[in-house]
């Protein structure tokens, strides 16, 4: 089964961030890997050896929140994204509100968690580490992307890669925001959802001032796994098609014999592909 999970970059405070996320969501880390214990140890400055090359926290029904400390020039070049959200929910509105308030500690609430015009509950915040979260109607953690007017084009591309069907497509003209939306934006997408494996990839067209200030950033990736090496390779190559940029080719990784690749697709969304070599 295909999986898709958020992967976050931090400039040295990954451990602090993930201890915070663990305090919010509970559970135990599946992986904690420091640079000093990896193949990169001899290439890592002494001051950075205790930093995290990789950490993974299981959340909800089969999801994994992952992160890393980027070092040196990558840390200096790190830009927080305002076009990438993690959408989360508890089993009930009360549990979701509890998670929302816990994530907001030390951060900033953009939209308080409350009854939404479309019927459910909704909230939006930026946590103390600069990561944007939404609380909505999903019982897992899922990526939520903002695009500056080309969401439909991007999601038609993603459906060609992953298959499936949209289960929700709402244009501004058919939403509670229709009366407050300029004529040229009425056909743009207020919301779209594409199920991928056990996850849902979601997005919106950021319009008005939100669209003008959209920053893709480089601190958030989507990690995919197709269930096997060749299945994941096919997804990786499909995502790279049409003008994407391969950052690291999908091939054997030095750390454990699995396969790994990294790319930026034609819409500026960053992806990682990771698959275990079951024959290795």
Kindly state the average pLDDT of the residues 178-188.
93
Q: What is the DSSP string of 74-88?
A: HHHT----SSEEEEE
* CA separation for the pair 261, 253 (Å, rounded): 8
Q: Report which of residues 133 and 137 the model is more confident about.
A: 133
Question: For residue 138, what pLDDT band results from cuts at 50, 70 and 90?
Answer: low
Kindly state the average pLDDT of the residues 118-141.
84
Question: For residue 139, what pLDDT band results from cuts at 50, 70 and 90?
Answer: low
21-25, 97-101, 167-171, 208-212: lowest mean pLDDT where? 208-212
- At 191-225, the pLDDT tens digits run 999 999 888 999 999 987 766 777 777 778 999 99
Model confidence at 190: pLDDT above 80? yes
Give yes or no for a contact between 90 and 133, defined as CB atoms under 8 angstroms apart. no
Question: Which pairs count as long-range contacts for 248-253, CB under 8 Å and 24+ apart, including other chains?
Answer: 252/277
Question: For residue 280, what pLDDT band results from cuts at 50, 70 and 90?
Answer: very low
Helix, strand, coil percentages in the chain from 3-state DSSP, rounded to 5: 25, 35, 35
Averaged pLDDT of the chain? 90
Q: Report which of residues 137 and 54 the model is more confident about.
A: 54
* CA separation for the pair 97, 119 (Å, rounded): 16
- At 227-262, the pLDDT tens digits run 899 999 999 999 999 999 999 999 998 877 789 999
* CA separation for the pair 224, 244 (Å, rounded): 16
Q: How far is CA 114 from CA 121, 131, 132, in A?
A: 5, 20, 17
DSSP label at residue 151: H
Counting residues of the chain whose pLDDT is more than 70, the rounded percentage is: 96
Q: How far is CA 131 from CA 30, 35, 85, in A?
A: 21, 23, 7
* CA separation for the pair 272, 6 (Å, rounded): 10
Q: What's the whole-model pTM score?
A: 0.83
Question: For residue 119, what pLDDT band results from cuts at 50, 70 and 90?
Answer: low
27-41, 56-70, 130-144, 196-210: lowest mean pLDDT where? 130-144
DSSP label at residue 277: -
- At 1-27, the pLDDT tens digits run 788 999 999 999 999 999 999 999 999
Model confidence at 35: pLDDT above 60? yes
* CA separation for the pair 58, 234 (Å, rounded): 26
Nearest to 269, CA basis, from 1, 67, 2, 6: 6
């Amino acid at each position: 089964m295909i999986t898709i999970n958020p992967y976050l970059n931090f400039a040295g405070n990954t451990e602090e961030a993930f201890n915070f996320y663990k305090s919010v969501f509970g559970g135990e880390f599946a992986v904690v890997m420091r640079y000093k214990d990896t193949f990169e140890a001899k290439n890592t400055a002494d001051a950075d050896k205790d930093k995290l090359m990789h950490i993974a926290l299981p959340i909800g029904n089969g999801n994994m929140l992952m992160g890393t400390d980027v070092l040196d020039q990558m840390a200096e070049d790190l830009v927080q994204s305002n076009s990438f959200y993690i959408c989360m929910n508890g089993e009930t509105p009360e549990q979701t509100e509890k998670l929302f308030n816990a994530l907001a500690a030390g951060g900033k609430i953009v939209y308080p968690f409350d009854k939404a015009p479309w019927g459910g509950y909704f909230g939006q915040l930026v946590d103390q580490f600069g990561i944007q979260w939404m609380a909505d109607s999903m019982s897992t953690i899922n990526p939520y992307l903002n695009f500056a007017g080309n969401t439909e084009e991007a999601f038609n591309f993603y459906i060609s890669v992953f298959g499936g069907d949209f289960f929700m497509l709402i244009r501004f003209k058919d939403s509670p925001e229709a009366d407050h939306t300029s004529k040229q934006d009425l056909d743009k997408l207020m919301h779209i959802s594409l199920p991928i494996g056990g996850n849902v990839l979601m997005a919106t067209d950021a319009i008005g001032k939100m669209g003008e200030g959209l920053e893709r950033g480089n601190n958030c990736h989507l990690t995919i796994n197709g269930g096997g090496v060749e299945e994941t390779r096919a997804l990786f190559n499909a995502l790279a098609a049409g003008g994407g940029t391969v950052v690291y080719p999908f091939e054997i990784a030095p750390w454990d014999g699995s396969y790994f690749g990294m790319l930026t697709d034609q819409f500026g969304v960053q992806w990682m592909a990771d698959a275990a070599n079951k024959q290795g």
